[in-house]
Structure 1
Amino acid sequence: MSGESAMIAAAPAPARKRRFKLGIWPFVAIFAAFVIIAIFAPLIAPESPNAQNLLGRLKPPGTESRGVLYLLGSDELGRDLLSRIIYGARISLSVAILSVVISSIVGTVLGMAAGLFRGWVEMIVMRIVDIFLSVPAVLLAIITVAVLGPGFVNVVIVLALTRWPRYARVAYGQTLSVANMPYVRIARFMGASPLRVLFLHILPNIIGPLTVVATLEFGLMVLFEAGLSFLGLGVQPPTASWGAMLSVGRNYIANAFWIATFPGICLFLLILSVNLIGDALRDRLDPKSR
């Protein structure tokens, strides 16, 4: 193949990469919109999410009852669905952020310690990781919530408890590849403490893959929270939750489809945007994809 032909064959790849980069921004905007809605929920929501109006129950979108305009309809208790969706975004994002932060910190610290110290530390940490990963995450979460009880705090603890092993695996593998680098060996030879080596020499060099994992896990945490709430094991009523709204909406799907449809669309858009942002970060931070 001539040099000119090779250039022509290689041209589409950068073009596809540019199109992908441009195409990710609408999903970044969607995710940012959900974050803004969650932060300013009291200012954005037209009504209180728990205010009941039994005379306005199961009203379709765009109708009005007793001075309340239901832009997205009302639920079985006459509560404004739009307001509950807005407050539900706050619950989903709060649970996802807290669980990702806790699980990433615990998993990263344990994984780096196992990769640096090796020996018995490596054996204990990685065997615990293997035990956690051998049990399906959803099943482990359901069992743990059933033991601890439902609620916002317990859901965060359960999700962090079930997902830290993935961070530990990534941190362990990345630490093994960095621990024998000359700068790390020199730092240890000069008497640097293990904590200094871990957090000043190793962590900055493995933060890229961990960031990608955290981004992808974020969408999974949103899905897990919705699933637990759907089963009645998550955030409890009357607190607004997308999963709980889906659970209630399935009973009225024939005559009030909007109760399940609009929370489902929001859940789909949030998880899709987070996953696509995670894919873009992986392409950006992974040297092999360049």
Structure 2
Amino acid sequence: MTEIAAPRRASIAPRRIPWPIVPFAIMLAVLVAMTVFAPYVAPLDPNQQNLLARLKPPGHVARGVTYLLGSDELGRDVLSRVIYGARVSLSVAFASVVLSGIFGSLLGMVAAFYRGWIEIIIMRIVDIVLSIPAILLAIITVAVVGPSLYTVVIVLAFTRWPRYARVAYGQTLSVANMPYVRLSRFMGAGWPRLLGRHILPNIAGPLIVVATLEFGLMVLFEAGLSFLGLGVQPPTSSWGAMLSVGRNYVATAWWIATFPGLALFLLVLSINLIGDYTRDRLDPRSR
């Protein structure tokens, strides 16, 4: 008799993290740790000036102090300013992503849930904001209101919320007519319960993907505004401001612009790669 082969059991092993992502994940974790423990990691006060040690190359020792990444035009330690600049960039990016994500997702869900004139008003506002270049809108708003840390956060959140609204709107349209949502509405559930308990958990995946990809963009926007003098103001350390100063000393003190530029590049690259991996993990079509 022919022996019948036993059916193969479906593999339920979790998908492994691809090894090229691991170094960038570690790099991002190190940068986040530096921002949290900046007062303990930075060798010097980022605003401490020493004019006798100005524009010294990496590894220079002056008065018993070693400038591992050199010093800037005022004799401040570049390494300390890079560490504190990471705190500013990550704080601004995190706050702006949270604010824009909450505001945009809520408006997108409300527009798709209620439809009618509410949908028309919200989505037309989304189209208007999206028609204006984000960086141009940010520059104009900061120039009018005045540059500061809180202004940058609010401006970046205001310019990027439409992307979340678009995603939340499309995802809510596909979920709002599901049987369990219709049944909950029939049973008398209010819109806060429907949106918060039944719709939001089912559309959170795409919104998380958008947030991870937007995070790196917020870092670049903050650096761009600081580079133009419209972001975080001196003497607060910022990567964009360091790049703006360093461009004047590229020929004589290359380290002032090189190290914050390299840190900015590695941070955005790590965030984008992790965002791509998160998108692949949360997208059912890629499984």
Return the TM-score normalized by structure 1.
0.93
Are residues 1:69 and 2:46 paired? Answer: no
Instruction: Provide the rounded CA distance (Å) in 2 between the counterparts of 1:72 and 1:206.
Output: 45
Deviation, structure 1 residue 67: 2.0
Instruction: Give the match for residue 280 of structure 1.
Output: 277
How big is each residue's C-alpha offset from its partner over 1:143-184, in whole Å with a ceiling of 9 and x where there is no partner? Answer: 010111101000000000000000000000000000011100
Deviation, structure 1 residue 85: 0.4
Instruction: Provide the rounded CA distance (Å) in 2 between the counterparts of 1:209 and 1:246.
Output: 34
Are residues 1:38 and 2:35 paired? Answer: yes
**Superposition CA RMSD, Å:** 0.9
Instruction: Give the match for residue 48 of structure 1.
Output: 45
Instruction: Provide the rounded CA distance (Å) in 1 between the counterparts of 2:256 and 2:71.
Output: 7
Output the amino acid matched with 1:254. A
Output the amino acid matched with 1:73. G
Are residues 1:87 and 2:84 paired? Answer: yes
Instruction: Provide the rounded CA distance (Å) in 1 between the counterparts of 2:127 and 2:119.
Output: 12
Query: Which structure shows the bigger proportion of residues in helix conformation?
Result: 1
Instruction: Provide the rounded CA distance (Å) in 2 between the counterparts of 1:26 and 1:176.
Output: 39
Instruction: Provide the rounded CA distance (Å) in 1 between the counterparts of 2:108 and 2:85.
Output: 34
How big is each residue's C-alpha offset from its partner over 1:230-254, in whole Å with a ceiling of 9 and x where there is no partner? Answer: 0000000000000000000000000
Return the TM-score normalized by structure 2.
0.94
How big is each residue's C-alpha offset from its partner over 1:93-118, in whole Å with a ceiling of 9 and x where there is no partner? Answer: 00000000000000000000001010
The counterpart of 1:205, out of the listed 202, 211, 216, is 202
Output the amino acid matched with 2:279. R
Instruction: Provide the rounded CA distance (Å) in 1 between the counterparts of 2:137 and 2:258.
Output: 29
Instruction: Provide the rounded CA distance (Å) in 1 between the counterparts of 2:177 and 2:20.
Output: 39
How big is each residue's C-alpha offset from its partner over 1:188-230, in whole Å with a ceiling of 9 and x where there is no partner? Answer: 0110000100000000000000000000000000000000000
Instruction: Give the match for residue 250 of structure 1.
Output: 247
Instruction: Provide the rounded CA distance (Å) in 2 between the counterparts of 1:161 and 1:202.
Output: 24
Structure 1, unpaired ranges of 5+: 1-16
Are residues 1:265 and 2:276 paired? Answer: no
SS at match of 2:61: strand
Deviation, structure 1 residue 286: 0.4
- Across the two proteins, how many residue pairs are aligned to each other? 273
The counterpart of 1:131, out of the listed 121, 128, 132, is 128
Instruction: Provide the rounded CA distance (Å) in 1 between the counterparts of 2:197 and 2:24.
Output: 34
Instruction: Provide the rounded CA distance (Å) in 2 between the counterparts of 1:173 and 1:25.
Output: 33
